[in-house]
Structure 1
Amino acid sequence: MNERRFTLLVMVLRFDDSATRAERVKKDRLAPIRKVFDLVVANCRSNYSPGPHLTVDEQLVPFRGRCSFKMYIPKKPAKYGIKVVLVCDSDSHYMFNGLAYLGKDTVKIPRGATLGEVYMSDLVSPFQPSGRRVTTDNFFATLPLTLSLLDKDMHLCGTIRQKSYIPKELMEKVLPPKDSVAVFIYEHNLTL
């Protein structure tokens, strides 16, 4: 396909009805491609059964067009794009569930919770209760979320940020440089 044909197809390719788009964008920022995005995620769910180990993380999908929720992250290879939060099978790297980050003001965050907890709860809800293990980074991992997942027969493994619920003994522990020493604390079926 030559460049002229590709440009023509991109200009006329539409995923929704432009007559009703303005009304739908007021409620949903992803309205122009919501149906396609939901269809892709639904097909990913229906065509694969993930294994016992899952990974939750975010990915910046490169995009330079006009978009109110486009992000700029200077340390990423593609500095501009749309952030998507994904649940993937740890063995096959298959995406099983996903949510587009549309801005902090578009998500209702319960009092005392974090945005990462809200996303994690939504993304792993199809797996409860299943005994699966979820690995994630410090944006998603918190003690209240870990306890909530334990109640739903799921396990969470992740790095954590310094929070008030981390015991002082662990925070005050100074490890010598260049030593490979690990300190563990066990409590309430949790290992920290």
Structure 2
Amino acid sequence: YWEPGRHLAIDESIIPFTGRAREIVEIPNKPDPIGFKAWQLCDNAYPLDWLFHARGTNYNAGEGPQDLDPRWRLEEGWSPTHGLVLELLHRQVDGQRLYPPNKHYVWFDNLFITVRLLEQLREWGIAAAGTVR
């Protein structure tokens, strides 16, 4: 059993793999630039939860972040990038949120930061901040 700390982070990561697979991506600025892409929610660099990323950006064809609840995009109009943040932070077990209000700060890079996303997280009682360009 693990109790997450106050400071969490969401970012993309590469799971190193040099074999053959359709989903392999290459991101040159990563420490391990070739492998499978995943979106991770971490506490002190330890993954708490993650979503696999299918290569490509055509969400309607099953590409992009996997296992997103369709309501983020279809009902609420979020992009897949912002939907994955909401998905990771709104997970529930037995009807209880894993990341309850007023307990966590979440850090992002500029890929995720929008006023709308920060406002939504604030409504949920989750503090958030990150880099901007």
Bin for the TM-score computed over the shorter chain: 0.7 to 0.9
Tell me the secondary structure at the aligned position of residue 86 of structure 2. helix
Determine whether 1:140 maps to 2:94.
no
Deviation string, structure 1 residues 83-132 (Cα, Å, up to 9, x no partner):
1111111xx33221111111333255626533321111111113142431
% same residue: 29
Larger Rg: 1
Instruction: Report which structure shows greater RCO (CA 8 Å, sep ≥6).
Output: 2
* Alignment correspondent of 2:27: 73
How far off is 1:151 after superposition? 0.5
Q: Which amino acid aligns with 1:134?
A: V
Mapped to 2, the partners of 1:76 and 1:152 lie a distance apart of 32
1:101 aligns with one of 53, 70, 79: 53
Query: For residues 156 and 64 of structure 1, do their structure 2 counterparts lie closer, same or farther at Cα, with a shift above 3 Å needed?
Result: same
* Alignment correspondent of 1:110: 73
1:56 aligns with one of 10, 31, 42: 10
Q: Indicate the RMSD between aligned Cα atoms, in angstroms.
A: 2.0
Number of equivalences: 113
* Alignment correspondent of 2:94: none
Q: Which runs of 4+ in 1 moved over 6 A?
A: none
Q: Quick check: which one's helix share is greater?
A: 1
Which sections of structure 2, spanning at least 5 residues, go unmatched?
91-97
Tell me the secondary structure at the aligned position of residue 57 of structure 1. strand
Q: Quick check: which one's strand share is greater?
A: 2
Q: Which amino acid aligns with 1:102?
A: A
Q: What TM-score results when the alignment is normalised by the length of structure 2?
A: 0.73
Deviation string, structure 1 residues 6-38 (Cα, Å, up to 9, x no partner):
xxxxxxxxxxxxxxxxxxxxxxxxxxxxxxxxx
Q: Which amino acid aligns with 2:6?
A: P
